[in-house]
């Protein structure tokens, strides 16, 4: 049977889960009162009766069958359309307050009565949950999903919604691939010494990392030293050891223009191929030190152990150029004895007349060296400032001592040594082996993984007894509950049958382990209908708060039945709440709710001067702010209008016009060093343009495109993610908004012309005022008073759907704070979608509304809200 066929057989139970758990509902029909029919007849039937049914909606019926498929959703859609003044259309007669009250009161009561609590479909682990579960269950902390592993579909803003977590053939295939990968680590194939092979790397096969090395004819030159391998080392790009063993390594070297009789020392280390280029050389095992003394190629051969996944790394340890700040500054001082060198260096760093310091980043490496050489060779080079003690000389030396700029400028000076020496040259590398097998770190790790998952085999223990004992230890962690004896025995039979066919013990265990990893008992969670039992509740809590499988504490509490005690349950919840801004739940939830996961795809226009470091800081600001709100149990209004921001001082000063007493402004062209990235809590006055979600750079970036702003995009985003107001999709016949290439009209003029149609006007009356209120924020969140290109003062004023007039962003903040229950309801629904994997039903939204109201009444905070949601019936029901 094909692998795919086996997968469908093993997962066949999942296909019928939906129908198995679905309960046939008895018909629930209720007549529509005459007063309600009268309102519908007056305002709705013209477009939504049986004959027209615009948008597929027919409201003309004497009675409502609430058990009919889609009935509750259709009437909830009608309820929302009337509530948010989307219906009747603006060009039609509007309902009187009394008519609206009659219709909405009736629908509210009926929807609350007839929509169920619960209803999540059997829920597959999403990518993050699946990866983290494997890491935790198998103790494989570095495990990553393979390249090409299918991505999950986002639904209602999240990749946790069960309805969209489908099981496709490519995903099933990927599950099999991962299962084999894991089984290969726990029960690896028996080692057989492979034939000795010889792999050769010429100079073009050696890695050129940053400015560490350059090619010159038949030689690769190393010219600098640093513990950072990207600035000091090279290694073969196409040689990777696949079997741990003793290897014969041959390297050809020579010295290029050595300065004295001291030998050049070449280190050879065992580099893990999986390590990043930013690794430190000392992290890798030293294999050999070679003295290089001759200027003609010389070959050295030695034998050393290389482990699986390693390759030899070469580093010149006593190079003249050292990237460490003090050493680099001293070396530069020596070069500055050449007045022309000093003058050219000054011209590179401080060009112009008068001189102006520029960003160092574009000057690093070959580009900077070319600029330096152009100045050095210029017969009209300005030599006036090229003297010791001059202001620009001292500034250049100060930059050389700076931890950040010293390394960037070192990347530039490296080219002096590549061209002029001294430099150490490599001419080729050969790796031959394995001459004999050795046990490497990966072999030891595999033994640890096997013992962790299946226990240590006792002396004299039979294959069947050991396998059964291992399953008793392993399956409860993998399946998140103790399986029945019948289930456990079924997996044991897989191994026994494989052994009976003549396969080895490890091969039988390998097949058995793969079978468990493609089981629906692992891949799906919370599959029993109705109120969650304690084990499923523990899973829902753990995956919500930690994005991981339940670990010891909550798993033990659930197996012991202790989560039924409200005090124990509350204490368990509190123990699992995120402990830092970088917690997986905080990062994952904010990335999806607030769309900050879009930031890597957005490239801010150069005119904004917004660096990649600032993009990272903007995202970190959101996560730190969310953590403080949760950790300190801040009131919900602080999400909108707090008295603090959380960012770095430099970021706040440059992007938020934040004033820090006695703090000197930093040159905006310089790199963000560690000090500039330190996140701090900074006080601000309430009611200003900064503070809160809508004033944060990351969110303002995510709701723009990096080049210009789009009021409609921002308006829709706020309605969906801050106010929780649903909008119907735009009419199919509406053309896209054409940008004004002549710059003759303001965005407000363009949008007004675009939305004259009655089909558009209803929604845009809700969208546009909010979008224009945010127009003072540019595409990266900076403040502006005029629309770019046309030099017209921005008019942020507007009228909100409830008739409230707002003149600016501060007014919008005040309105949301006044209606904080609206934001609280939206936030509660977002958290519940994320946690339960379903969009709350009308009855569930009613429960959430009561929770938010009680939090506000009791003057509670965000932490209280999160805990109350997890104690709700909605959360505790599948």
**pLDDT tens profile 186-227:** 999 988 999 999 999 999 999 998 788 999 999 999 999 999
pLDDT at residue 49 tops 80: no
Nearest to 10 by CA among 526, 528, 525, 516: 516
Q: Taking 80 as the threshold, does the pLDDT of residue 16 lie above it? A: no
The DSSP output letter for 672 is -
Are 398 and 352 a contacting pair, CB within 8 Å? no
pLDDT band, very low/low/confident/very high, at 87 (cuts 50, 70, 90): confident
Check pLDDT > 70 for residue 267: yes
> Which SS3 state, helix, strand or coil, does residue 343 take?
helix
Across 30-44, 332-346, 382-396, 754-768, least confident range = 754-768
| Contacts with 14 (C-beta within 8 Å, 6 or more apart), sequence order | 122, 167, 520, 523, 524
Give how far the C-alpha of residue 27 lies from the chain's centroid of Cα atoms, to the nearest Å: 46
Q: What is the pLDDT of residue 50?
A: 77
Retrieve residue 626's tokens. Answer: 């969310």
The mean of the pLDDT values for the chain is: 90
Q: Determine if residue 609 is left, alpha or beta; phi over 0 gives left, psi from -120 to 50 gives alpha, anything else beta.
A: left
| pLDDT above 50 for 741 | no
pLDDT at 24 over 50: no
H-assigned helices in 402-484: 405-420, 441-454, 463-479
The model's pLDDT over 612-649, given as tens digits with 9 standing for 90+, comes to: 889 999 999 999 999 999 999 999 999 999 999 999 99
> Looking at per-residue confidence, does 762 or 330 come out higher?
330
Mean pLDDT, residues 104-133: 90
Percent of residues, the chain, with pLDDT higher than 90:
70
DSSP, res 551: -
SS (H, E, C) 241-280: CCCCEEEEEEEEEEEECCCCCCCEEEEEEEEECCCCCCCE
pLDDT at res. 64: 86
Greatest mean pLDDT among 73-77, 571-575, 791-795 lies in 571-575
Question: Which residue do the tokens 């029945």 mark?
Answer: 484
835 burial type by CB count under 10 A (0-12 exposed, 13-18 middle, 19+ buried): buried
CA distance 146 to 134: 13
**DSSP structure class, residue 794:** -
- What are the start-end ranges of the E strands in 726-791? 786-787
Other CB atoms within a 10 A radius of the CB of residue 289 amount to 11
Task: Using a pLDDT cut of 70, give the percent of the chain over it.
Answer: 94
What span, in angstroms and rounded, lies between the C-alpha atoms of 451 and 119? Answer: 40
pLDDT of residue 89: 80
Residue of 743 and 716 predicted with greater confidence: 716
Mean pLDDT, range 234-256, rounded to an integer: 97
Q: What confidence category does residue 6 fall into, taking pLDDT thresholds of 50, 70 and 90? A: very low
Between 89-103, 157-171, 248-262, the lowest mean confidence (pLDDT) is in: 89-103
pLDDT score recorded for residue 186: 96
**Distance, CA of 674 to CA of 743 (rounded, Å):** 42
CA 669 from chain centre, in angstroms, equals 28
Please list, in sequence order, all residues whose beta carbon lies within 8 angstroms of the beta carbon of residue 798, skipping any fewer than 6 positions away.
768, 769, 770, 772, 773, 805, 806
Residue 236: Cβ within 10 Å count: 23
Distances (CA, A) of 477 to 331, 533, 548, 874: 58, 17, 12, 26
For residue 159, what pLDDT is reported? 97
Q: So what's the pLDDT on residue 21? A: 38
Residue 426 belongs to what H/E stretch? strand 423-437
pLDDT band (50, 70, 90) for residue 5: very low
Least confident of 296-300, 306-310, 608-612, 686-690: 608-612
Mean pLDDT of 25-51: 79
Whole-angstrom Cα distance, residue 789 to residue 605? 14
């Amino acid at each position: 049977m094909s692998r795919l066929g086996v997968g469908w057989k093993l997962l066949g139970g999942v296909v019928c889960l939906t129908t198995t758990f679905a309960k046939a509902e008895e018909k629930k029909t209720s007549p529509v009162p005459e007063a309600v029919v009268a309102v519908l007849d007056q305002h709705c039937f013209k477009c939504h009766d049986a004959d027209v049914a615009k948008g597929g909606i027919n409201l003309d019926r004497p009675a409502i069958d609430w058990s009919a498929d889609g009935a509750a959703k259709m009437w909830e859609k009608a309820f929302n359309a009337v509530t948010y003044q989307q219906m009747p259309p603006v060009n039609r007669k509007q309902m009187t307050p009394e008519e609206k009250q009659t219709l909405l009161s009736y629908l509210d009561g009926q929807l609350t009565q007839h929509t169920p609590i619960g209803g999540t479909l059997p829920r597959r682990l999403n990518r993050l949950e699946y990866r983290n579960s494997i890491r935790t269950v198998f103790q494989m902390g570095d495990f990553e999903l393979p390249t090409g592993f299918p991505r999950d579909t986002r639904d209602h803003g999240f990749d946790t919604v069960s309805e969209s977590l489908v099981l496709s053939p490519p995903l099933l295939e990927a599950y099999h691939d991962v299962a084999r990968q894991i089984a290969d680590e726990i029960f690896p194939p028996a080692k057989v010494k492979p034939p000795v092979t010889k792999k050769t790397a010429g100079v073009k096969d050696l890695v050129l990392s940053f400015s560490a090395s350059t090619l010159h004819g038949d030689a690769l030159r190393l010219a600098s030293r640093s513990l950072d391998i990207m600035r000091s080392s090279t290694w073969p790009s196409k040689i990777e050891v696949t079997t741990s063993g003793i290897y014969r390594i041959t390297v050809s070297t020579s010295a290029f223009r050595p300065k004295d009789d001291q030998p050049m020392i070449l280190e050879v280390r065992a580099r893990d191929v999986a390590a990043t280029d930013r690794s430190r050389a000392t992290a890798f095992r030293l294999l050999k030190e070679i003295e290089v003394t001759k200027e003609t190629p010389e070959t050295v051969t030695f034998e050393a152990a290389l482990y699986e996944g390693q390759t030899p790394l070469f580093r010149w340890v006593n190079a003249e150029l050292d990237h460490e700040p003090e050493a680099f500054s001293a070396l530069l001082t020596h070069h500055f004895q050449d007045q022309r060198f000093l003058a050219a260096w000054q011209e590179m760093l401080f060009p112009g007349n008068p001189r102006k310091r520029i960003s160092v980043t574009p000057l690093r490496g070959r580009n900077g060296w070319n600029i330096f050489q152009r100045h050095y060779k210029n017969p009209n080079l300005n030599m006036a400032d090229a003297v010791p003690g001059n202001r620009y000389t001292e500034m250049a030396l100060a930059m050389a001592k700076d931890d950040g700029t010293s390394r960037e400028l070192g990347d530039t000076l490296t080219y002096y040594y590549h061209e002029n020496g001294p430099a150490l040259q490599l001419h080729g590398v050969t790796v031959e082996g394995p001459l004999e097998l050795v046990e490497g770190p990966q072999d030891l790790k595999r033994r640890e993984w096997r013992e962790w998952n299946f226990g240590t085999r006792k002396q004299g223990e039979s294959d069947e007894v050991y396998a059964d004992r291992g399953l008793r230890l392993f399956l409860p962690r993998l399946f998140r509950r103790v399986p029945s004896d019948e289930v456990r025995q079924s997996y044991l039979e897989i191994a026994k049958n494989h052994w009976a066919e003549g396969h080895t013990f490890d091969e039988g265990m390998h097949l058995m382990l793969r079978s468990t990893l493609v089981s629906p008992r692992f891949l799906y969670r919370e599959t029993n209908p109705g109120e969650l039992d304690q084990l499923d509740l523990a899973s829902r809590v753990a995956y919500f708060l930690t994005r991981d499988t339940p670990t010891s504490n909550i798993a033990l509490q659930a197996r012991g039945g202790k989560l039924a005690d409200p005090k124990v349950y509350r204490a368990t919840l509190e123990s699992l709440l995120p402990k830092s801004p970088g917690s997986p739940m905080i990062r994952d939830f904010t990335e999806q709710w607030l769309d900050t996961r879009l930031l890597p795809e957005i490239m801010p226009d150069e005119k904004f001067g917004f660096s990649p470091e600032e993009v990272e800081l903007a995202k970190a600001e959101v996560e730190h702010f969310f953590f403080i709100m949760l950790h300190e149990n801040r009131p919900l209004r602080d999400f909108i209008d707090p008295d603090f921001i959380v960012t770095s001082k430099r970021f706040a000063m440059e992007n938020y016009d934040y004033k820090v007493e006695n703090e000197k402004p930093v040159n905006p062209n310089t790199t963000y060093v560690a000090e500039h990235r330190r996140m701090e809590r900074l006080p601000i006055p309430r009611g200003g343009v900064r503070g809160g979600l809508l004033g944060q750079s990351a969110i303002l970036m995510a709701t723009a495109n990096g080049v210009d702003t789009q009021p409609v995009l921002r308006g829709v985003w706020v309605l969906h993610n801050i106010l929780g107001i649903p909008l119907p999709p735009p009419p199919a016949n509406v053309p896209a908004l054409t940008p004004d290439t002549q710059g003759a009209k303001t965005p407000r003029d363009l949008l007004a012309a675009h939305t004259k149609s009655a089909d558009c006007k209803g929604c845009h009356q809700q969208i546009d005022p909010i979008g224009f209120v945010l127009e003072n924020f540019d595409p990266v969140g900076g403040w502006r008073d005029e629309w770019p290109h046309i030099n017209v003062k921005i008019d942020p004023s507007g009228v909100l759907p409830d008739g409230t007039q707002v003149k600016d962003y501060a007014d919008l903040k005040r309105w949301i704070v006044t209606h904080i229950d609206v934001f609280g309801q939206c936030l509660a629904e977002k958290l519940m979608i994320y946690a339960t994997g379903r969009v709350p039903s009308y009855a569930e939204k009613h429960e959430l509304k009561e929770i938010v109201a009680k939090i506000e009444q009791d003057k509670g905070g965000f932490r209280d809200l999160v805990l109350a949601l997890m104690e709700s019936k909605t959360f505790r029901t599948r």
